[in-house]
Amino acid sequence: MTLSTLIHQLPLIEISLITSIIFLHLIRATLNIGYGLVPGLLLVSIASLVLLAPFGAIGAPWSLPFAAYIRGVTGDLSILSLMLLICTWSGLNAFRIASITPILITVIAILFYPFALGFTMFDPYAWGYHSSVLVGTVLLVAAIYFFAKHSWEALMISITVIAWSIHWHESINLWDYLLDPFLAVWAIGLSIRWVIWGRPQADDANEWSMDASLMSRRKRGRMFG
């Protein structure tokens, strides 16, 4: 495999890894089984290879790897989604987002999508191409998170801006690196739950440790892993 072929395949590799992570998490949560990080990485690698395998070349009736079909529907996920998924799945005990984060994403998504999809002549999506005000605001939010001692968000937003500046994905629009519909749905669901039932306390985590049960993770305020 040449370097250019590998670079061309990177988006498919990325979507395979993320799909595997979500898929394995759902299995783990449904069957209520637990495993450590190393077996988890092994399972994700195997699942990703299955998603990337060129079955069409060995006579399967479909011509593309599964990952290409998934990418056809979802496109590339936002960098923020990717990092949230990876951080929660990896089960880092230190990883805990601020209570305000899903609410902030919810408010932005609810304000953003109707206008970005043609509700009026006002188009916030156009800012994402090169608006210094938008980029400045995003970096300011990252700085506020940092000084408010929420380093995870500061780190994730910074990596998002770096990924945008090197055009890691097909899009050159900053919004596509910050937000996607799946992240918006997740944030809206989590915000509603936290606002109505309150957010679980962080110290619950001590009781549950690396338990795989979905309920325990929900109590710790995590959607995944």
Tell me which residues touch other proteins (CB under 8 A).
8-9, 11-12, 63-64, 68-69, 71-75, 94, 112-113, 116-123, 125-126, 128-130, 132, 135, 139, 142-143, 146, 149, 151-152, 154-155, 157-159, 161-162, 164-166, 169-173, 175-176, 179-181
In the bound state with other proteins, the residue whose beta carbon lies nearer, of 53 and 155, is 155
Angle at 83 between CA 40 and CA 125, to 5 degrees: 145
Read off the tokens for 62.
Answer: 């479909």
Quote the least distance from Cβ 84 to other proteins, whole Å: 15
19 Cβ neighbours under 8 A, 6+ residues apart: 47, 48, 51, 67, 70
CA 112, CA 109: separation in Å to the nearest integer?
Answer: 5
Quote the least distance from Cβ 19 to other proteins, whole Å: 13
Read off the tokens for 91.
Answer: 């089960």
Quote the least distance from Cβ 33 to other proteins, whole Å: 29
In the bound state with other proteins, the residue whose beta carbon lies nearer, of 124 and 200, is 124
Quote the least distance from Cβ 46 to other proteins, whole Å: 22
69 Cβ neighbours under 8 A, 6+ residues apart: 62
In the bound state with other proteins, the residue whose beta carbon lies nearer, of 141 and 212, is 141
In the bound state with other proteins, the residue whose beta carbon lies nearer, of 160 and 216, is 160
Cβ density class 63-80: b for 16+ within 10 Å, e for less: eebbbbebbeeebbbbbb
